[in-house]
């Protein structure tokens, strides 16, 4: 294949790089046909009527605010700590305040913004009634006499019709106690900016208004996302979109590139996404969705939805986002302020757990082991260990045999991990064929060797124990064993075995919760009102258990993940159903997302093929078709890098806003390609070593593990060799993750014997 074939559509090749000769101007677009012109006239007349009506309204004075939300939260806290005889009166008062607050909220609406009053238009016909136009916007204003009906997409019942039905279909919905039936005569998405109609999306055509004021119809290719440059969404795109609509976008927003008039993003939610976003504010929503299906979009949309409808319960400081990587943390952090959600904490789980553990055990100055054996990781994250911690905590609390301060929690942690008989019994109950008794014993020896050394890191407690022993020489055998450490040593020597494994952060926090209750933030409980966990498939059941218990009752949680994108094979997460069972959530449904918005059909077929037996039996639906996936084989890395340089240089000249990722499995491989491309003087070239992504046009060379959750216009997977990607589950997941970062085009490059995971049809 010619290297010049790494390119976007012909429309994109019209962009000339600085210093080059610009391409000839494209021919003038054909005039609108009669049906298209009629649509434009209808929408312009409707907007004119709405503008005229809004201009005639008197200024709206905001009603005085009351602190009902604060009263409800205060009453809830009082009920939690009140005497039993005081609870009924407090509950009655809480019900009364709730009723008053609900009545207040039902009558308070924001005024309509005349510069962008609505983004959706429905024309409905119901039996026995005249046809009516309903406009979907960000607030509600209904004046039937003036023929203006604008409803809020976030809570107006009629907005469900907009998201669930297509033009020309019959609908049947229940609004309160009223059954509504009818036909959708028209369903259109419009872009209105500074009171001007700029874009109309209808089943018949996508119509845009040019700089001269003339309207034109986008051709089918432009409207169906066929370009390369700018196909992938970046934070600045999301901020601009969110700033206009108060919500994040999905893959359906890509077609805005062609005309530069960004539509309201809330208009682009598909029915399934809207259903999940608007679920009740209490409960647990679990989303299984493939790459590019909108999991992150749903999570942040749902927070915006709750913040709007939930009053002061869901303020930014009372919500937490846990993500899978620093790259996704940076990505979401740049977007949230545009959703009117500044101040929400966005952290990776490892960061959050480490900082919380240090605050909970400030005196435990233990270094963290950097080379924990895989068998120990599996041991500590295994569901059997979570069960054992919970069982032993119940026994200890019933017996009253262990001090319940933070130091007692540390002894509990050490005792559970190194109690050989109980450990073997717990793992035998589960009988995991992938983690046998021999492996359990190896991991137990690691813990039995190191846990006593960690206990000895507390010199103050050692002095306290020695003083107590001097005053009371007669102590029980059990107490002597506790004082001497789990393995019988006297604990007077501090050695290099006194380290914690990364997985111990979760185990210590869960032990604290089991024995002492809520984690603390200063003197107050560390509790959130809503938790959104993205990439949940990379967390262990014990990690999720810790997070579940930092959310206030009644719990409001969104969990999103994709079992096909697991990065950590030792995390203890096998599938959603098993994990939910381990967490005591057997009745929680898993909500599937089937539409893959990011990648083309060709890319998704390749990604599914490399998963092989790990693929979901139901394939995703990819609406877009694009360039075929290409496999290029070379005898060496040098030849492959030279070929890529020859392909990338003209690509960036034609498409200066394109993003391209060169993805390797190992850092050493990424270094080779980066050095070669740098010598070839590829512009805007960046070597990403530790998640320092720029989120701007250019070429980024990095490892697949670092790009989880991100997307690029073009992706090149390098050194897809048999030695680098053997036929194992981890290799399948990595290739799937790397491939699905591509929004437009994917190349696969091998510099040795190709991996046997590559589908045969690729050659």
The annotation places the binding site for ATP at 289-296
Residue carrying the six token digits 């006297």: 490
- Between CA 622 and CA 295, with CA 236 as vertex, the angle to 5 degrees is 40
What does DSSP assign to residue 752?
Answer: S
Say how far apart CA 662 and CA 580 lie, in whole Å. Answer: 36
Secondary element (H or E) of residue 633: strand 630-633
Give the phi and the psi of residue 591 in degrees, each rounded to 5.
-95, 115
User: What is the rounded end-to-end Cα distance, in angstroms, of the chain?
Assistant: 12
Enter the tokens of residue 230. 């700018």
Own/partner long-range contacts of 48-56 (Cβ < 8 Å, ≥24 apart): 49/146, 49/147, 49/148, 50/117, 50/118, 50/135, 50/148, 50/150, 51/114, 51/117, 51/195, 53/143, 53/146, 53/148, 54/112, 54/114, 54/117, 54/141, 54/148, 55/114
Region of 538 (left: φ > 0; alpha: ψ -120 to 50; beta: rest) is alpha
Enter the tokens of residue 493. 């020597």
Cβ atoms of residues 750 and 633 within 8 Å: yes
Say how far apart CA 14 and CA 33 lie, in whole Å. Answer: 27
Nearest Cα to Cα of residue 185 among 202, 208, 173 = 202
- For the chain, helix (H) and strand (E) counts, in that order, are 24, 23
Q: What is the dihedral of CA 501, 735, 292, 310, to 10 degrees?
A: -10
**Positions at the binding site:** 289-296
- Between CA 333 and CA 143, with CA 189 as vertex, the angle to 5 degrees is 105
CA distances from 60 to 116, 141, 246, 278, 438 (A): 17, 12, 21, 28, 73
Enter the tokens of residue 116. 């962008």
What are the DSSP E strand ranges found in 17-77?
none
Cβ atoms of residues 197 and 44 within 8 Å: yes
Radius of gyration of the chain measured on its C-alpha atoms = 30
Say how far apart CA 316 and CA 313 lie, in whole Å. Answer: 9
Nearest Cα to Cα of residue 216 among 177, 259, 255 = 259
Say how far apart CA 22 and CA 155 lie, in whole Å. Answer: 49
């Amino acid at each position: 294949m010619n290297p010049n074939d790494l390119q976007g559509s012909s429309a994109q090749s019209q962009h000339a790089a600085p210093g080059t000769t610009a391409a000839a101007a494209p021919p003038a677009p054909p005039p609108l046909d009669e049906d298209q012109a009629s649509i434009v006239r209808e929408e312009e007349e409707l907007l004119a009527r709405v503008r005229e009506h809004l201009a005639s309204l008197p200024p709206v004075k905001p009603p005085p605010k009351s602190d009902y939300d604060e009263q409800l939260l205060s009453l809830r806290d009082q009920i939690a700590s009140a005497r039993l005889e005081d609870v009924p009166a407090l509950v009655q008062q809480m019900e009364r305040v709730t009723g008053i607050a609900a009545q207040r909220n039902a009558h308070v609406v924001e005024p309509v913004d005349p510069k962008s009053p609505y983004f959706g238009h429905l024309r409905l016909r119901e039996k026995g009634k005249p046809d009516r136009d309903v406009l979907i916007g960000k607030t509600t204003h209904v004046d039937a006499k003036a023929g203006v009906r604008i409803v809020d997409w976030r809570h107006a019942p009629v907005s469900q019709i907009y998201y669930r039905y297509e033009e020309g279909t019959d609908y049947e919905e229940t609004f309160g106690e009223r059954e509504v039936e009818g036909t959708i005569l028209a369903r259109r998405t419009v872009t209105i900016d500074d009171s001007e109609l700029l874009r109309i999306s209808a089943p018949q055509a996508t119509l845009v208004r040019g700089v001269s004021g003339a309207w034109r119809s986008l051709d089918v290719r432009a409207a169906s996302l066929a370009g390369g440059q700018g196909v992938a969404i970046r934070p600045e795109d999301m901020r601009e979109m969110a700033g206009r609509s108060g919500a994040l976008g999905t893959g359906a927003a890509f077609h805005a590139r062609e005309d530069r008039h960004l539509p309201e993003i809330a208009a682009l939610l598909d029915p399934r996404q809207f259903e999940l976003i608007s679920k009740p504010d209490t409960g647990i929503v679990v989303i299984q969705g493939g790459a590019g299906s909108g999991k992150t979009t749903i999570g942040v949309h749902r927070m915006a939805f709750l913040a709007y409808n939930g009053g002061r319960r869901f303020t930014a400081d009372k919500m937490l986002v846990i993500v899978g990587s620093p790259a996704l943390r940076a990505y979401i952090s740049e977007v949230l302020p545009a959703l009117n959600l500044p101040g929400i904490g966005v952290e990776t789980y490892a960061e959050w757990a480490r900082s919380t553990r240090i605050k909970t055990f400030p005196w435990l100055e233990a270094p963290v082991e950097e080379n924990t054996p895989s068998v120990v990781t599996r041991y500590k994250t295994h569901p059997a260990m979570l069960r054992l911690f919970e069982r032993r905590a119940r026994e200890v609390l019933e017996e009253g045999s262990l001090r319940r301060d933070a130091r007692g929690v540390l002894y509990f942690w050490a005792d559970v991990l190194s109690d050989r008989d109980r450990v073997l019994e717990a793992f035998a109950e589960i009988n995991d064929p992938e983690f046998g008794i021999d492996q359990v014993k190896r991991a137990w020896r690691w813990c039995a060797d190191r846990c006593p050394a960690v206990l000895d890191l507390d010199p103050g407690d050692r002095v306290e124990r020695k003083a107590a022993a001097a005053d009371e020489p007669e102590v029980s055998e059990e107490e002597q064993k506790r004082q001497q450490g789990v393995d019988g040593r006297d604990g007077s020597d501090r050695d290099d075995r006194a380290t914690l494994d990364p997985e111990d952060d979760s185990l210590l926090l869960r032990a604290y919760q089991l024995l002492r209750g809520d984690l603390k933030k200063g003197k107050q409980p560390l509790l959130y009102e809503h938790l959104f966990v993205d990439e949940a498939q990379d967390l262990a059941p014990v990690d999720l258990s810790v997070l579940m218990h930092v959310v206030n009752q009644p719990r409001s949680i969104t969990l999103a993940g994709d079992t096909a994108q697991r990065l950590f094979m030792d995390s203890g997460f096998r599938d959603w159903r098993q994990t939910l069972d381990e967490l005591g959530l057997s009745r929680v449904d898993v909500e599937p997302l089937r539409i893959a918005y990011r990648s083309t059909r060709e890319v998704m077929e390749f990604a599914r093929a490399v998963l092989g037996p790990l693929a979901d039996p139901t394939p995703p639906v990819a609406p877009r078709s694009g360039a075929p996936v290409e496999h290029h084989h070379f005898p060496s890395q040098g030849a492959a890098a030279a070929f890529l340089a020859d392909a990338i240089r003209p690509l960036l000249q034609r498409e200066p806003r394109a993003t391209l990722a060169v993805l390797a499995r190992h850092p050493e491989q990424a270094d080779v390609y980066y050095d070669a491309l740098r010598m070839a003087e590829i512009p805007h070239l960046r070597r990403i070593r530790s998640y320092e992504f720029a989120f701007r046009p250019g070429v980024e060379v990095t490892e697949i593990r670092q790009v989880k959750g991100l997307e690029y216009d073009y992706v090149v997977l390098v050194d897809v060799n048999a030695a680098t990607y053997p036929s194992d589950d981890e290799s399948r997941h990595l290739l799937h993750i790397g491939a699905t970062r591509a929004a437009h085009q994917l190349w696969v490059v091998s510099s040795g014997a190709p991996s046997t995971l590559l589908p045969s049809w690729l050659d």
